[in-house]
Amino acid sequence: MRRSIGCCFIIVMAMFIATGCGSDYPATGAPPKADREAVTPKLVHAVPAAQDVVPRGTLVTGTLAAEDQVALSFKVDGRLTDIAVDLGSRVRKGQLLARLDPTDFRLRVRQAEAALQQSRARLGLSPDGTDDRVDPEHTPLVGQARAMLDEARRSHDRMVTLWERQLIARAELEAATATLQVAEGRYQDAIEEVRNRQAVLAERRSELAMARQQLLDSELKAPLDGAVRQRHASAGEYLAAGAPIVTVVRIHPLRLRLAVPERMAANVRIGQPVNLRVEGDRTVYRGQVARLSPAISEEDRTLMVEAEVPNAHGQLRPGSFAEAEIVTAAEEHAVFVPAASILTFAGIEKVMTVQDGLSVEKRVQTGRRIGDRVEIIEGLKPDELVVVEPGNLVGGQPVTVSP
């Protein structure tokens, strides 16, 4: 009985194998041509791969940086009474940002003005004048000493005449001579005193200028156009000179710092256009190569390149990561397909083309992305029909191209 069952099983397996060997299906499992003709073709949307002339460039990545960044502080001590900006505030050059309590500074100005007026009065000048020039001979102090000197000279001359006539004693002549010498000394002292008062007047004038400057320094103004990156102080704090108040960055233009590989560095020149994108923004921004490092970095074999990127509306932020293309040539022929036609699996990129009513899978190598188009560097020729949004379409499947 068992032998009969075994024989029957062998016969059935032999018939199954014979049937399989006589089938028209290929080893891949795809249906034969007759069966494919019986399958309803899938309706697909296909467009020809387009050849276009585009600029040739070098693709690199980099970081946007502020042109200038300044931590602003007061030059004088004082209590912060008002701060007019905060994080993200846009500022213009000369705009008032913060202010210290001006009471002490105004009192110092008044004190310096009073001291200046006193110094001018001691020189015989009007207290409220602005011209500090003075002739020592026309000052009261020197005039008095000059008068005494003239009187001493006349008295001495008389004594000399009387001595020559033998009308006075020698002691009287010597007394007149001593009086003349004292008068001459007093006259020189008067001139020196006037010069000293002139120096004091100049010092008082400088002290007044310093007091007025400190009053001006109690107001903190923006040195450039930009935006507030950080606020460090609050109203009511007593601040020492040099304590940071706010940090302002210049956001127009920005610097784009790029590390260009050594093999591509020879094609980069100052003035070449730069197209860039930032994460989360599909807008293409444009800049220009402004600076090149004089040396290749020995650590990573790259050339540091800086581009200037206009940012008048503040859409770009310093510190952002950017993908950039340095345009090194004006024209280059390239093949482009819609971005929706690219399939990616396990790092392999491919497209589905249409040939003789069948879908054909082709591996490709992509390059730049311009708008909703992707450059095909390798694997596709111009004018080949490429299926847009292939979905689950597989190679060898019958398709019909929609109008």
pLDDT of residue 334: 81
Domain boundary among 217, 232, 259: 217
Q: Are residues 277 and 320 in the same domain?
A: yes
Q: Which amino acid is at 198?
A: Q
Count of all residues that appear for the chain in the document: 403
- Which residues span the domain enclosing 241? 69-101+219-249
CA distance 44 to 187: 115
Bridge-based pairing state of the strands 348-355 and 343-345: antiparallel
pLDDT of residue 20: 42
Domain boundary among 330, 345, 378: 330
pLDDT of residue 12: 43
Q: Are residues 274 and 234 in the same domain?
A: no
CATH assignment of the domain containing 375: 2.40.420.20
Q: Are residues 294 and 154 in the same domain?
A: no
Q: Are residues 290 and 241 in the same domain?
A: no
**Dihedral angle of Cα 104, 107, 108, 112, to the nearest 10 degrees:** 180
Buried b (16+ CB within 10 A) or exposed e, 91-121: beeeeebbbbebebbeebbeebbebbbebbe
Q: Are residues 242 and 154 in the same domain?
A: no
H or E segment at 144? Answer: helix 140-164
DSSP 8-state code for residue 295:
E
Residues 349-393 pLDDT 10s = 999 999 888 989 999 988 777 778 888 888 888 888 899 988 888
Give Cβ neighbours of residue 127 (< 8 Å, ≥ 6 apart).
Answer: 117, 118, 120, 121
Q: Are residues 143 and 208 in the same domain?
A: yes
Domain contains 36: no
Q: Are residues 190 and 228 in the same domain?
A: no
Domain contains 171: yes
Considering its fold, how many domains does the chain have in total? 5
Q: Are residues 96 and 237 in the same domain?
A: yes
Beta strands in 197-347 (DSSP E): 219-221, 226-231, 238-239, 244-249, 254-261, 273-278, 281-296, 302-309, 321-338, 343-345
Q: Which residues of the chain register pLDDT less than 70?
A: 1-39, 55, 330-331
Q: Are residues 89 and 226 in the same domain?
A: yes
* pTM, two decimal places: 0.59
Domain boundary among 306, 330, 354: 330
pLDDT of residue 25: 37
- Which of helix, strand or coil describes residue 58? strand
- Which of helix, strand or coil describes residue 382? coil
pLDDT of residue 394: 87
CA distance 365 to 342: 10
Q: Are residues 302 and 342 in the same domain?
A: no
Q: Are residues 195 and 271 in the same domain?
A: no
Q: Are residues 234 and 280 in the same domain?
A: no
